[in-house]
């Protein structure tokens, strides 16, 4: 069987399943003619569908029969092994034709988080990783099923790309209950477990596209590198995409403007140089590439070496990895089956040994019973002997303890009597001190009473002096009012007084009118002085 037919078998099986009217496992030849004609057109083969009319005498064909026809009438005209680029191109075209047949059942869904393009990419990923297994429920029928380990790996990668939390334990429990997964449940699981809280369709498409390019398009690594020009020896930055057979570089990350392709062959060598640069030695010429840092350069060296190692094959690198993982799983299953067989053999041998043991058990049981009785008698005698010996030891111990306790009791009694005498002396001293303290307390109480009486008497005297002070202030206020009244009257009669004063001065020793106001002022100032308490 050609490599191309092996790669597209899953696509063809899904299309064959979509063409079935019922679950019988057979499809009408008239429907298969259209699919066969389209596949033949893609392979530049025309009229290959006409042979279906003469192939077998039945109106319908099973998948095994249809696959046999494709192998011997369609794909036989192609070489068994094709170059990787041509193989990917044919595979992509046949996948598109088969998708046109089966897409209706997968695009009509109640929840449509994924776009049609994303679902097609998931369809391609599923077909690359899935296995074609016979359907146990329907004869001559097959199913395309994906192992839960592969589903978990894809779901985890998409969730990590979108920054979503991925509960691996919950997914493992789900995969145990579901088993191998078909295409529709695979899309539903990715939709429900990897897009929690994500509504950005562009981010979803980018995440699925990354894993699509890795698995389907066989992209080993992508990233920015600088490349030295051929005509102008300057380092210019490009976006590089590495596959096992080629290293393609573009102007930008969108991968729309292709600038060139560097062929990767088995003779290609990778040599690191100074300044984070890489020399790619190809049979045609050498290319100088530059990385931004040491870690990136190491990653690109490893990826380029991996691409060179797998460039001479006739099968894509990812499909080889899928086959390797499948063989490992089958090996583990074989080991489990062997372990179960060995366990069953050991269980049978153990059951046989248990039967022999039961036969011997009845014979041994009587001897064991007699030995048990003798052992019990021996134990009882030994126990009685030990009890007697222990009783003697206990008696000696008790006597020694009694003597020691009696001696301690005498010592305690003497100490107690001494403490009683000391306590009595302390009580007498305490009684004398208490009498002295009571006497002092009485004296202090008498002094306190005298002080309280003296304080009460002083309070009465202070109240009496306060009353006298208030009366004196009233008198002063009254005298000041009279003084002001007299001064006013004096100012009124000042001219008359001056005239009379002049007359009196001639006849007596009374002071003159000029000296009189001064005396009045002196008297007024003396009246204004505050009385000291």
Q: Which long-range contacts (CB under 8 A, 24 or more apart) does 202-205 make?
A: 203/162, 204/113, 204/114, 204/115, 204/118, 204/162, 205/115, 205/117, 205/118
CA 111 to chain centre: 29
Cβ neighbours of residue 229 closer than 8 Å, sequence gap 6 or more: 236
Closest-CA residue to 49 (of 31, 65, 67, 37): 37
Q: Do residues 244 and 211 share a domain?
A: no
Kindly report, residue by residue over 329-382, the tens digit of the pLDDT. Answer: 888 877 778 878 888 888 888 888 888 888 888 888 888 888 888 888 998 999
Cβ neighbours of residue 501 closer than 8 Å, sequence gap 6 or more: 510, 512, 513, 516
Q: Do residues 229 and 183 share a domain?
A: no
Q: What is the residue range of 160's domain?
A: 3-215
pLDDT score at 274: 86
Judged by DSSP in three states, 421 sits in helix
Inter-CA distances, 479 with 73, 281, 439, 475, Å: 152, 133, 60, 6
Asked if residues 191 and 204 have their Cβ atoms less than 8 Å apart, the reply is no
pLDDT score at 110: 62
Kindly report, residue by residue over 296-326, the tens digit of the pLDDT. Answer: 999 999 999 999 888 877 788 888 888 888 8
Q: Do residues 140 and 259 share a domain?
A: no
For residues 147 and 145, give the distance between their C-alpha atoms in angstroms, rounded to a whole number: 7
Q: Which pLDDT band holds residue 509 (cuts at 50, 70, 90)?
A: very low
Whether 489 is covered by a domain: the verdict is yes
Decide which of 114 and 415 is more confident: 415
* Residue written as token pair 């393609």: 248
**By mean pLDDT, which of 260-264, 358-362, 402-406, 463-467 is the weakest?**
358-362
Whether 360 is covered by a domain: the verdict is no
CA 500 to chain centre: 121
With b for 16 or more beta-carbon neighbours within 10 A and e for fewer, the 270-299 pattern comes to: beeeeebbbebebeeeebbbbbeeeeebee
Asked if residues 222 and 242 have their Cβ atoms less than 8 Å apart, the reply is yes
For residues 34 and 41, give the distance between their C-alpha atoms in angstroms, rounded to a whole number: 11
Strands annotated E in 174-330: 221-228, 235-243, 246-250, 258-263, 269-273, 277-281, 286-290
CATH of the domain at 251: 2.30.29.30
In the structure encoding, which two tokens stand for residue 475, read together? 């008198």
Give the range with max mean pLDDT: 193-197, 288-292, 478-482: 288-292
Host H or E run for residue 396: helix 317-492
**By mean pLDDT, which of 47-56, 189-198, 364-373, 503-512 is the weakest?**
503-512
Average of pLDDT values for 387-411? 90
Number of domains in the chain: 3
pTM here is: 0.62
Whether 284 is covered by a domain: the verdict is yes
Last residue in a domain, options 180, 215, 250:
215
Whether 332 is covered by a domain: the verdict is no
Last residue in a domain, options 167, 199, 215:
215
Q: Do residues 109 and 18 share a domain?
A: yes
For residues 482 and 476, give the distance between their C-alpha atoms in angstroms, rounded to a whole number: 10
Q: Cα Rg for the chain, rounded, in angstroms? A: 60
Judged by DSSP in three states, 425 sits in helix
Q: Do residues 308 and 273 share a domain?
A: yes
Kindly report, residue by residue over 157-215, the tens digit of the pLDDT. Answer: 888 888 888 788 888 888 777 888 898 888 888 888 787 777 788 888 898 999 999 99
Q: Do residues 143 and 236 share a domain?
A: no
Q: Do residues 59 and 27 share a domain?
A: yes
Q: Do residues 149 and 254 share a domain?
A: no
Q: Do residues 95 and 244 share a domain?
A: no
Which string of DSSP letters, residue by residue, matches 7-62? HHHHHHHHHHHHH-SSTTSEEEHHHHHHHHHHHHHHTT--SGGGGGTTSSSSSEEE
Q: Which pLDDT band holds residue 497 (cuts at 50, 70, 90)?
A: low
Question: Per DSSP, what are the bridge partners of residue 133?
Answer: 143
Q: Do residues 31 and 158 share a domain?
A: yes
With b for 16 or more beta-carbon neighbours within 10 A and e for fewer, the 308-327 pattern comes to: bebbebebbbbbeebeeeee
Average of pLDDT values for 117-142? 89
For residues 418 and 426, give the distance between their C-alpha atoms in angstroms, rounded to a whole number: 12
pLDDT score at 295: 93
CA 242 to chain centre: 34
Q: Do residues 234 and 210 share a domain?
A: no
Q: How buried is residue 353: exposed, middle or buried, by Cβ count under 10 Å (0-12/13-18/19+)?
A: exposed
Q: Do residues 12 and 137 share a domain?
A: yes
* Residue written as token pair 């004869």: 139
Whether 428 is covered by a domain: the verdict is no
**By mean pLDDT, which of 28-37, 197-206, 221-230, 271-280 is the weakest?**
197-206
For residues 166 and 169, give the distance between their C-alpha atoms in angstroms, rounded to a whole number: 9
pLDDT score at 248: 93
Whether 326 is covered by a domain: the verdict is no
Last residue in a domain, options 215, 240, 272:
215
Kindly report, residue by residue over 369-392, the tens digit of the pLDDT. Answer: 888 888 889 989 999 999 989 989
Q: Which pLDDT band holds residue 531 (cuts at 50, 70, 90)?
A: very low
Please provide the size of the chain in residues.
Answer: 533
């Amino acid at each position: 069987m050609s490599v191309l037919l092996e790669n597209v078998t899953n696509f063809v099986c899904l299309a064959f399943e979509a063409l079935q009217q019922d679950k019988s496992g057979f499809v009408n030849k008239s429907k298969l003619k259209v699919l066969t004609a389209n596949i033949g057109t893609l392979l530049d083969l025309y009229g290959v569908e006409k042979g279906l009319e003469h192939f077998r005498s039945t109106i319908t064909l099973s998948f095994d029969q249809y696959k046999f026809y494709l192998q011997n009438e369609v794909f036989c005209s192609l070489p068994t092994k094709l170059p990787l680029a041509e193989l990917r191109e044919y595979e992509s075209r046949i996948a598109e034709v088969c998708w046109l047949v089966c897409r209706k059942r997968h695009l009509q869904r109640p929840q449509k988080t994924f776009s049609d393009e994303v679902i097609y990419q998931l369809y391609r990923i599923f077909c690359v990783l899935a296995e074609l297994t016979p359907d146990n429920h329907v004869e001559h029928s097959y199913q395309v099923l994906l192992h839960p380990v592969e589903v978990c790996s894809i779901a985890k990668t998409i969730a990590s790309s979108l920054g979503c939390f991925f509960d691996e334990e919950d997914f493992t429990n789900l995969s145990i209950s579901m088993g191998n997964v078909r295409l529709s449940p695979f899309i539903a699981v990715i939709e429900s477990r990897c897009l929690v809280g994500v509504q950005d369709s562009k981010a979803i498409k980018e995440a699925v596209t990354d894993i699509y390019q890795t698995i389907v398009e066989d992209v080993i690594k992508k990233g920015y590198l600088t490349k030295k020009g051929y005509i102008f020896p300057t380092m210019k930055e490009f976006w590089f995409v590495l596959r096992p057979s080629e290293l393609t570089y573009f102007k930008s990350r969108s991968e729309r403007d292709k600038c060139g392709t560097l062929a990767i062959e088995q003779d290609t060598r990778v040599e690191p140089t100074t300044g984070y640069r890489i020399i790619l030695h190809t049979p045609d010429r050498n290319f100088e590439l530059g990385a931004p840092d040491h870690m990136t350069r190491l990653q690109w060296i490893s990826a380029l070496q991996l691409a060179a190692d797998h460039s001479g094959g006739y099968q894509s690198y990812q499909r080889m990895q899928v086959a390797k993982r499948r063989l490992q799983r089958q090996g583990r299953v074989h080991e489990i089956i062997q372990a179960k067989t060995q366990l069953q053999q050991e269980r049978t041998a153990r059951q046989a040994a248990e039967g022999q043991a039961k036969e011997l058990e009845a014979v041994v049981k009587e001897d064991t019973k007699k030995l048990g009785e003798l052992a019990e008698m021996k134990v009882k005698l030994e126990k009685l002997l030990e009890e007697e010996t222990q009783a003697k030891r206990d008696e000696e111990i008790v006597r020694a303890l009694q003597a020691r306790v009696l001696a301690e009791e005498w010592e305690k009694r003497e100490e107690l009597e001494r403490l009683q005498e000391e306590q009595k002396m302390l009580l007498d001293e305490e009684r004398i001190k208490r009498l002295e303290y009571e006497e002092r307390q009485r004296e202090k109480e008498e002094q306190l009473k005298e002080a309280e009486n003296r304080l009460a008497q002083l309070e009465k005297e202070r109240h009496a002096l306060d009353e006298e002070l208030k009366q004196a202030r009233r008198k002063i206020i009254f005298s000041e009012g009279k003084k002001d009244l007299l001064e006013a009257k004096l100012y009124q009669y000042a001219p008359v007084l001056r005239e009379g004063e002049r007359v009196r001065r001639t006849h007596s020793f009374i002071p003159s009118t000029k000296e009189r106001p001064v005396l009045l002022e002196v008297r007024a100032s003396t009246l204004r002085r505050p009385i000291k308490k």
